[in-house]
Structure 1
Amino acid sequence: MNVLQYLTENKDQILRDIEWIVTCESPSRRKDLSDECADAIYQMFYERLGVYGEAYEQEETGKHLKFEIGRGDKTVVMLAHYDTVWEEGDLSYYIEGDKAYGPGTVDMKAGLVQSMWAIKALQELDVELDYKIKFLVTADEEIKSPTGQYFIKDEAKDADVVLVVEPPTGYEGLIKTERKGDATYDIKAIGVASHAGNDPKPQANAINELAHQIVKLENLADLENGTSINVGVIHGGSKRNVTAAEAVMEVDCRFSKREEAHRIDEAIQALKPTLKETDLVVEGEIGRYPMERTEQTVELYEMAKEVASDLGMEIGETFAGGVSDGNFTSAMGIPTLDGLGAIGDGLHAPHEHIVISELPRRGALLAGVLEKLNKS
């Protein structure tokens, strides 16, 4: 029996495990629910792989988990997260045809379960790996990994390779060899309140000041080079007939090159007010540097492509505008391949789902990569 046959025979149990973890809802900011989900993942790894994990308690989010499998001089880190963007009760788990729907199915609980089963398949078929797998599962990726990033950076510092089991792109299952990086900022304008009719002060209007700053931000963007700046939220002012004393805008920046990250950050941190009677306060920073396509990343991708061919699959690669925890390890100079999770659609959307029939093949793809790393 080969890995694909093993996973196909166990597809129903894999799906039941996915249901188990998906129905343990885990909104990023609900520590109580997230900790319960972490406990379920801990139990699942023990029952399926016979390994005890280590739990890292957090004050405001769920626990981070670490599972170590095997031993050897080389270390392969696998990255997953179990937090979701959905609040409790927003979505329900259900199956319709060849699709399983629910909160966090594709992003990314199915990838977590599927990858655990890939390791289990290798164990059951007596495929010995000559390296240690360090499986890191975080609880705060959807809110920019405020503590998870330090957990990952510390635990992955000795890694030779990182595999991220986030979902691939589209039903074609495209592997992510590049990702944009991100930075977020809150830019506050401070003005002076006055009566809009009796004492108009356009030079002291905080909202007017932000309008000028938006033009500056637009001029910083460079879409041809992959740098975008989006003002997603503005709030401020008090009444229609009062000059706005305060206004804030929330800004999201994306970039595909490290030097662009620094250029944008330096420019935004140096913003000065345009109007005479206003002031500016800038808060924020670079969150993740880009995951850039390196020669080592391409080598990993070609390895995955070869495994896919052996399985009768065709895969491609893609550049993703979104970020993942793989950005952190890539920025550390560790070869990182992303998008090895479950196929589906609807990330952060009500129709979020996975394709059930693809679970065995995607699991076999990951297992094949793990086996090839034995010889690299």
Structure 2
Amino acid sequence: MPIATARPLDPDAILDGIRRWVEIETPTDAPDQVNKLASIVADGYRGLPARLDRVAGHSGCGDHLVVRSSWGQERPGILVLSHLDTVHPLGFIGRLPFHVKDDSAFGPGIYDMKGGAYLAFHAFRELCANGEHSPLGITHLYVSDEEIGSPTSRALIEAEGRKAKYVLVTEPARDGGKIVTSRKGVARFEVFIRGVPSHAGTRPQDGRSAIRELGSVIQTLEAMNDLSRGITVNVGVVRGGTKPNVIAEEAYAEVDMRVPTLADAEALMQKIMGLTAKTEDVSVKVTGELNRPPFEKSPGGTALFEHAKALAADIGFELRDSYSGGGSDGNFTAPFTATLDGLGVDGEGAHTHYEQMYISSIEPRTRLLYRLYQTLQ
């Protein structure tokens, strides 16, 4: 098969398509906006050999869009994972309007991950325009809630992932174009502490401070950090008490845990969920779950990376792999299906006021996706 597409790629046309997606703001908590973009994405498949299924959103989230090629659906094929939601609030585009400066195109969500989602969409369109059928069927799943942990799409992602032979995730590239071949697992917890209130000046001995107990809990949690092993436990939110002259009756914390392996996750989950009070008449309650399992390297994933690396070399660039502390929807599929992440655009500033993609990454990254469609079997 040819190394490149049969037709020359037009990076300017691709960038214009990305611009149209970026200029529709899609914060996760604005489902109408997410659905507006989902409709535009769906319109882009009109006239192509593909079937669309739209899964109605719920629980305050937008719809999910499932696009299936008309061929190859009778056996395990390629699943492409993308998300349409962004972290930026409505109106942020006023602060960060789409614009181009040198090799960078700026805009909310352009790097994470509308640029990458569009590249995969465009690569499929090119495949169809060239009259080709890839050896395997292609299913492209666009979800609406990845930025909040995919609570309404996880079951769909896992179901589609189990039916696939390969999973390609269009999250942005890392550190100069690196592919992501492993990610930490992510867990979230809430800690609720109830003590006994009293007057801090006249009857302090009658009180049992929930805040003091929380301090002890925080020290216990902080001691679980092991940076040499890639384990992080972060107490990111704390609240408690009512007045400075009242022994605090209640205190609360939110905790983020990141771990490289499932064994680490299971061990630390047990410790955190089993936290108890050290003070008499004080209660500690912990709720939480492993939101995303660790994306650990596997033989299938390694083989998929090596295949992509060889394709990239043919195209003319070196593809390297990396490990990410952040989670993605690839965490849900990696435990059972060969998964390659970070196939989106290169750039920087995800979730910031300077988020940008590198225009020079459009052509090689689109060609890589196209060649993956052409060659995976």
TM interval, shorter chain, is over 0.9
Alignment of 1:285-304 (within 5 A): 285-304=289-308
Asked if the contact 1:163–1:336 (Cα under 8 Å) also holds between the matched residues in 2, the reply is yes
In structure 1, C-alpha distance between the alignment counterparts of 2:49 and 2:354, rounded to whole Å:
34
Alignment partner of 1:111 is 2:116? yes
How much does 1:82 deviate? Answer: 0.6
Corresponding residue number in structure 2 for 1:153:
158
Pick from 155, 160, 170 the counterpart of residue 165 of structure 1. Answer: 170
In structure 1, C-alpha distance between the alignment counterparts of 2:206 and 2:365, rounded to whole Å:
59
Corresponding residue number in structure 2 for 1:231:
235
Corresponding residue number in structure 2 for 1:355:
358
How much does 1:2 deviate? Answer: 5.8
Corresponding residue number in structure 2 for 1:311:
315
- Aligned residue type for 2:340: L
In structure 2, C-alpha distance between the alignment counterparts of 1:8 and 1:249, rounded to whole Å:
54
In structure 2, relative to structure 1, the CA distance for the partners of 1:161 and 1:198 (3 Å cut) is same
Over the matched positions of the two proteins, sequence identity in percent amounts to 35
Root-mean-square deviation over aligned CA pairs? 1.7
Asked if the contact 2:5–2:126 (Cα under 8 Å) also holds between the matched residues in 1, the reply is no
Asked if the contact 1:98–1:357 (Cα under 8 Å) also holds between the matched residues in 2, the reply is yes
Alignment partner of 1:56 is 2:55? yes
How much does 1:195 deviate? Answer: 1.2
Asked if the contact 2:135–2:374 (Cα under 8 Å) also holds between the matched residues in 1, the reply is no
Q: Partner of 1:168: helix, strand, or coil?
A: coil
- Aligned residue type for 2:91: G
Q: Deviations over 1:236-259 (max 9, x none)?
A: 111111111111111000000001
How much does 1:130 deviate? Answer: 2.1
Corresponding residue number in structure 1 for 2:22:
22
In structure 2, C-alpha distance between the alignment counterparts of 1:303 and 1:175, rounded to whole Å:
12
In structure 2, C-alpha distance between the alignment counterparts of 1:16 and 1:6, rounded to whole Å:
21
Using the size of structure 1 for normalisation, the TM-score is: 0.94
Q: Partner of 1:204: helix, strand, or coil?
A: coil
How much does 1:4 deviate? Answer: 4.4
Asked if the contact 2:197–2:207 (Cα under 8 Å) also holds between the matched residues in 1, the reply is no
How much does 1:7 deviate? Answer: 7.2
Corresponding residue number in structure 1 for 2:125:
120
How much does 1:50 deviate? Answer: 5.2
Asked if the contact 2:188–2:255 (Cα under 8 Å) also holds between the matched residues in 1, the reply is yes
Q: Deviations over 1:89-108 (max 9, x none)?
A: 11322222221111110100
How much does 1:166 deviate? Answer: 0.6
Aligned length: 371
Alignment of 1:188-227 (within 5 A): 188-201=192-205, 204-227=208-231
Asked if the contact 1:202–1:208 (Cα under 8 Å) also holds between the matched residues in 2, the reply is no
How much does 1:61 deviate? Answer: 0.7
How much does 1:3 deviate? Answer: 6.6
In structure 1, C-alpha distance between the alignment counterparts of 2:264 and 2:205, rounded to whole Å:
37
In structure 1, C-alpha distance between the alignment counterparts of 2:92 and 2:111, rounded to whole Å:
16
Asked if the contact 1:70–1:131 (Cα under 8 Å) also holds between the matched residues in 2, the reply is no
Q: Partner of 2:82: helix, strand, or coil?
A: strand
Any stretches of 5+ residues in structure 1 without a counterpart?
none
Pick from 270, 273, 292 the counterpart of residue 266 of structure 1. Answer: 270
Using the size of structure 2 for normalisation, the TM-score is: 0.94
How much does 1:202 deviate? Answer: 8.4
